[in-house]
């Protein structure tokens, strides 16, 4: 394998451009005045300011977590802009005309925002830095009673709903970055699906970091009422910069009785260059509460970007007969580091969870799976099946598995399987002999390895994710 | 001449051991050549070296294939030029369907010839047509490459791929090993159907058995990295009867 892995270069990051647009930033640093200023900019009610301040006061008592299998350089939290708002609208325009530069940016990313050009069967909320630029298809969705808007807009228009659920799944006391996000969060997406509605299109949010020196702290809240369904997808990218930028988000999902949420992520933040310089720190808390009986949440993630990833999309299976699923492909190349996995907390009776994690490591990268399966005392007949596979390309990368199990009910059945494999020279030569060149052979083999997860993505993104996988690994073999 | 091998020497890269010690062989279109020889004589190494397996290094000699210097071509370009190797041990590629795999291969071949990729429906039609050569059924398209295939299915799958790619020169490396008589008949039947005056085959085998089905024009004996005897198909029968010892005696060993 050595001679295949010798040549390690870096494919150009396709989304590394910067948009030249006037951006309003508030002073760097973090203190109560900054938080008051953010809250004021967003014209927030008093309770939300209090929510932020309480989180901030708690955050000040915390220190950065050191348990992940990651080496994270010290972050100066006073050296970050916590609010950066591109001037989205053309000044003086009557019907809130969007700056053409912004439209161009999202066009370039493959996210057309003009209603007439909008992707069929899909509604998009486009977020740049701290603000939502535009949300498409809102009217069509509103006819079904579906709310799909930025969280800032939701605070203004649906304050009761937001107040009821914000922080109900991920409290500000959950962890260091959750506290930070709760103090300074800016735009993200709010979704509410009323009872008995099957959302007819994919809802999605595209997150873009643009401003230099800023962080992105979005917050997403999705509430799906009884007997309803939604499929939601998030994508993201950032310019290529030598500095590291922080992305610390919170995603909260609430699934009521017999409802289902399918949450898919294609994460493509700038991973840094081939020497490990620059890139996004992606420190994210994602959790779903399967609140109602028979509710179901599926997390599907394809992670190829970010210099460092620290995230564990989880399910709290509170309702009886509820189901949690986690399907993940995490790719690390060059000097990327990922510590990712899930938590499945079985509380209701007859709850099921299914975990499929596929790690792919190349270059000098480190890729860890960390997962917890917890079955509480009263959770009778809980079932879990976990499968964690690692694929190594070369001998300078690392793959690690940290499975935790806490089972307090003896009717539970918890299974864990793990494998580690390498792409063999024989497989590559076999493809070569049939006329397939090495780069394409690797893409084919990796695609086959990740198929079980990719197939869970909505159709059009499955293709994108497959391409992304091969681009991320391009140059990792020669 | 389709293939001309002159004084070919090759070593195993990892330990420097010389396996091929001066091979000379000429093959014309329309011919079937059998290469026989005892274990460890270098038969499989010869097929690996011709296909461009990176585990071996050519230290001397030259190979002209179809007017081109074969040794200068990458393994994939050797394939594009029409060289096909039916592997002794076909590898498994989990999760990659035969249709995806073959489509990638076919389209690379077409690209090399300056042709447009095949449409999905034309491709599937071609696949259905060719899988009949070796009596593989319609489930083949969806199965992962060689994963969970029986020994016989793996070899039939190799010949199926040969039928798809329509090579000028096919090298069948111990294609008969591990086959029962029915599978052997199917595999050989496939090879015979593909035979034409435009292409040629090298059949590497240990036993005469396969040569009852695929009748060679020439039989060569490879021993200690050299071709020590060449004759017509009767040589195979003689070897079957007498074993390899008489050859060793002839060589004065």
C-alpha to C-alpha distance for A361 and A365, rounded to whole angstroms: 6
Contact assignment for B84 to A3 by CB distance below 8 Å: no
Cα dihedral A87, A90, A91, A96 in deg (nearest 10): -100
User: pLDDT digit string (tens) for A152-164?
Assistant: 999 999 999 999 9
Over range A109-120, report the average pLDDT: 68
Chain B residues with CB-CB distance to A429 below 8 A? 51, 53-54, 75
Length of chain A: 478
The model's confidence at residue A9, banded by pLDDT at 50, 70 and 90, is very low
| pLDDT over 50 at A10, yes or no | no
pLDDT of residue A5: 37
- Å between A402 CA and nearest CA of chain B: 25
Residue B239 — pLDDT band, cuts 50, 70, 90?
confident
The residue with greater pLDDT, B52 or A71, is B52
Of A433, A447, A451, which has the smallest distance from its Cβ to B75's Cβ? A433
Question: A424 burial class (0-12, 13-18, 19+ CB within 10 angstroms)?
Answer: middle
Tell me, yes or no, if A450 comes closer than 8 A to chain B by beta carbon.
yes
Cβ distance of A440 and B51 shorter than 8 Å: no
A426 reaches B (C-beta below 8 A) = yes
pLDDT band at A95 (very low <50, low <70, confident <90, very high): low
Give the chain A residue nearest B101 (alpha carbons): A444
pLDDT of residue B242: 86
Q: What is the 3-state secondary structure (H, E, C) of chain A?
A: CHHHHCCCCCCCCCCCCCCCCCEEECCCCCCHHHHHHHHHHCCCCHHHHHHHHHHHHHHCCCCCCCCCCCCCCCCCCCCCECCEEECCECCCCCCCCECHHHHHHHHHCCCCCCHHHCCCCEEEEEEECCEEEEECCHHHHHCCCCEEEEHHHHHHHCHHHHHHHCCCCCCCCCCHHHHHHHHHCECCEEEEECCCCECCCEEEEEEECCCCCECECEEEEEEECCCCEEEEEEEEECCCCCCEEEECCEEEEEECCCCEEEEEEEECCCCCCCCCCCEEEEEEEEEEEECCCCCEEEEEEEECCCCEEEECCEEEECCCCCEEEEEEEEEECCCCEEEEEEEEEECCCCCEEEEEEEEEECCCCEEEEEEEEEECCCCCCCEEEEEEEEEECCCCCEEEEEEEEEECCCCCEEEEEEEEEECCHHHHHHHHHCCCCHHHHHHHHHHHHHHHHHCCCCHHHHHHHHHHHHHHHCCCCC
pLDDT of residue A475: 61
Residue A95 inside a domain? The answer is: yes
Give B-chain residues touching A435 at CB under 8 angstroms.
Answer: 76, 79-80, 105, 108-109, 112, 165
> Sorting pLDDT into bands at 50, 70 and 90, what band is A7?
very low
A182 within domain boundaries: yes
- For the stretch B5-40, pLDDT in tens is 999 999 999 999 999 999 999 999 999 999 999 888
Indicate whether B138 pLDDT > 70: yes
- Whether residue A478 is contained in a domain is answered as no
Q: Is the ipTM of this complex over 0.90?
A: yes
Of residues A424, A435, A449, nearest to B105 (C-beta): A435
Query: Where is pLDDT greater, at B108 or A470?
Result: B108
Chain B's closest residue to A453, CA to CA, is B95
Looking at CA atoms only, how far is residue B94 from chain A in angstroms?
A: 6
Check residue B206 and report its DSSP letter. S
Interface of B with A (CB under 8 A): 51-55, 74-76, 78-80, 84-85, 87, 90-91, 93-96, 100-102, 104-105, 108-109, 112, 144, 161, 165
Q: Mean pLDDT across the stretch A241-257?
A: 91
Residue B91 and residue A440: Cβ atoms within 8 Å? no
CB contact (8 A) between residue A436 and residue B76: yes
Q: Under 8 Å CB-to-CB from A89, ≥6 apart: which residues?
A: A96, A97, A98, A99
Structure tokens that stand for A74 in this block: 């010290």
Whole-number mean pLDDT of chain A? 87
- CB contacts of B105 in chain A (<8 Å) are 431, 434-436
At residue A93, the pLDDT reads 58
Which range has highest mean pLDDT (A136-145, A450-459, B244-253)?
A136-145
A25 falls within a domain: yes
CATH value at residue B190: 3.40.50.300
Question: Per residue in A292-322, pLDDT tens?
Answer: 999 999 999 988 888 899 999 999 999 999 9
- Asked if B144's CB is within 8 angstroms of A448's CB, the reply is yes
Chain A residues with beta carbon closer than 8 angstroms to that of B52: 432-433
Interface test with A, best of B14, B51, B101 (most A CBs within 10 A): B101
**Domain range enclosing A169:** 2-473
At B178-224, the pLDDT tens digits run 888 888 999 899 899 999 999 999 999 988 888 989 999 999 999 99
Q: What is the pLDDT of residues A407-447, one digit of tens each?
A: 999 999 999 999 888 888 899 999 999 999 998 898 899 88
- β-strand pairing of B18-27 with B3-12: antiparallel
Nearest chain A Cα distance for residue B79, angstroms: 5
CB contact under 8 A, B112 and A427: no
Is residue A326 in some structural domain?
Answer: yes
Residue A210 placed within a domain:
yes
Residues of B in Cβ contact (< 8 Å) with A426: 91
CA distance B79 to B165: 9
**Per-residue confidence (pLDDT) for residue A258, from 0 to 100:** 98
User: Which chain B residues have a beta carbon less than 8 Å from that of A437?
Assistant: 74, 76, 108
What is the Cα A420 distance to its own chain's centre?
25
Helix axis angle, A32-41 to A46-59, nearest 10°: 150
Please judge whether B91 and A430 are an interchain contact, meaning their C-beta atoms are less than 8 angstroms apart: yes
Q: What are the tens digits of pLDDT across the range A255-291?
A: 999 999 999 998 888 888 888 888 889 999 999 999 9
Q: Half-sphere exposure of A64 toward its Cβ, with a 13 Å CA cutoff?
A: 13
What pLDDT shows up at residue A287?
A: 97
When divided into structural domains, chain B yields a total of 1
Using CB atoms, pick whichever of A426, A437, A452 lies closest to residue B91.
A426
Q: Which domain holds residue B37?
A: 3-250
**What is the SS3 string spanning A262-289?**
EEEEEECCCCCCCCCCCEEEEEEEEEEE
How many structural domains compose chain A? 1
Which residue in chain B is spatially nearest to A443 when comparing CA positions?
B96
Q: Does residue A6 sit at the B interface (CB-CB below 8 Å)?
A: no
Cα separation of A22 and A19, whole Å?
Answer: 9
Contact across the interface for A448 and B95, Cβ inside 8 Å: yes
Mean pLDDT, residues A352-366 taken together: 92
Average pLDDT over residues A63-90: 85
Whether the CB of A461 is below 8 Å from some CB of chain B: the reply is no
Report the DSSP beta bridge partners of residue A288. A253, A315
Residue B163, H or E segment: helix B151-165
Cβ-defined contact of B76 to A425 (cutoff 8 Å): no
């Amino acid at each position: 394998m050595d001679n295949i892995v010798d040549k390690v270069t870096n494919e150009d990051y396709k989304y590394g451009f910067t948009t030249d647009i006037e951006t309003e930033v508030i002073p760097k640093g973090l203190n109560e005045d900054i938080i008051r200023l953010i809250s004021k900019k967003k014209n927030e009610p008093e309770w939300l300011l209090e929510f932020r301040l309480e989180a901030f006061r708690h955050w000040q008592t915390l220190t950065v977590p050191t348990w992940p299998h990651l080496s994270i350089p010290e972050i100066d939290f006073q050296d970050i802009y916590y609010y950066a708002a591109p001037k989205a609208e053309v000044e003086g325009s009557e019907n809130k005309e969007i700056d053409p530069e912004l439209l161009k940016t999202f066009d370039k990313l493959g996210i057309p925002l003009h209603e007439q050009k909008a992707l069929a069967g899909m509604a998009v909320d486009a977020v740049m830095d701290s603000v939502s630029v535009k949300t498409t298809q809102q009217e069509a969705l509103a006819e079904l009673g579906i709310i799909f808007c930025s969280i800032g807009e939701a605070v203004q228009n649906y304050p009761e709903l937001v107040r009821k659920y914000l922080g109900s799944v991920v409290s500000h006391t959950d962890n260091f970055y959750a506290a930070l996000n709760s103090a300074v969060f800016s735009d993200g997406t709010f979704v509410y699906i009323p009872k008995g509605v099957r959302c007819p299109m994919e809802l999605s949010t595209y997150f873009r970091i643009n401003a230099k020196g800023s962080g992105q702290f979005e917050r997403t809240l999705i509430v799906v009422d009884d007997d309803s369904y939604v499929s939601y997808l998030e994508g993201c990218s950032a310019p290529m910069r030598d500095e590291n930028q922080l992305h610390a988000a919170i995603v909260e999902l609430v699934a009521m009785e017999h409802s289902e949420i399918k949450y898919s992520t294609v994460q493509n933040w700038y991973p840094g260059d081939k020497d490990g310089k620059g890139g996004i720190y992606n420190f994210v808390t994602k959790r779903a509460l399967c609140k109602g009986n028979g509710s179901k949440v599926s997390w599907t993630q394809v992670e190829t970007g970010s210099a460092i990833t620290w995230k564990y999309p989880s399910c709290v299976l509170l309702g009886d007969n509820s189901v949690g699923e986690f399907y993940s492909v995490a790719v690390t190349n060059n000097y990327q580091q990922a510590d990712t996995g899930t938590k499945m907390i079985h509380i209701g009776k007859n709850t099921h969870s299914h975990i499929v994690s596929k790690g792919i490591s190349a270059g000098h990268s480190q890729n860890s799976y960390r997962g917890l399966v917890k079955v509480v005392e009263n959770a009778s007949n809980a079932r879990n099946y976990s499968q964690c596979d690692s694929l190594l390309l070369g001998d300078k990368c690392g793959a690690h598995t940290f499975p935790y199990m806490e089972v307090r009910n003896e009717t539970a059945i918890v299974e864990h399987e793990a494998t580690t494999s390498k792409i063999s020279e024989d497989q590559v030569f076999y493809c070569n002999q049939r006329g397939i060149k090495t780069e394409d052979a690797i893409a084919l083999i990796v695609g086959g390895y990740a198929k079980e997860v990719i197939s869970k993505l909505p159709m059009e993104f499955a293709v994108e994710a497959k391409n992304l996988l091969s681009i991320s690994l391009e140059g990792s073999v020669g | 001449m389709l293939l001309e091998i002159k004084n070919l020497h090759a070593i195993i890269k990892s330990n420097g051991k010389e396996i091929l010690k001066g091979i000379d062989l000429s093959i014309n279109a329309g011919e079937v050549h059998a290469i026989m020889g005892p274990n460890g004589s270098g038969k499989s190494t010869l097929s690996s070296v011709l296909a461009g397996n990176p585990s071996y290094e050519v230290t001397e000699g030259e190979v002209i294939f179809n007017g081109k210097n074969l040794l200068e071509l990458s393994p994939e370009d050797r394939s594009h030029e029409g060289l096909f190797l039916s592997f002794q041990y076909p590898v498994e590629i989990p999760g990659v369907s035969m249709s995806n795999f073959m489509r990638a291969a076919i389209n690379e071949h077409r690209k090399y010839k300056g042709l447009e990729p095949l449409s999905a429906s034309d491709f599937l039609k071609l696949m259905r047509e060719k899988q009949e050569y070796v009596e593989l059924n319609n489930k083949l398209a969806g199965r992962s490459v060689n994963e969970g295939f029986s020994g016989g299915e793996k070899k039939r799958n190799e010949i199926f791929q040969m039928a798809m790619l329509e090579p000028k020169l096919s090298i069948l490396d111990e294609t008969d090993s591990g086959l029962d008589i029915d599978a052997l008949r199917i595999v050989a039947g496939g090879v015979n159907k593909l035979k034409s005056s435009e292409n040629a085959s090298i059949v590497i085998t240990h036993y005469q058995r396969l040569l009852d089905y695929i009748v060679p024009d020439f039989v060569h004996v490879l021993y200690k990295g050299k071709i020590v005897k060449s004759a017509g198909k009767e040589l195979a029968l003689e070897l079957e009867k007498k074993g390899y010892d008489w050859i060793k005696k002839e060589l004065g060993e």
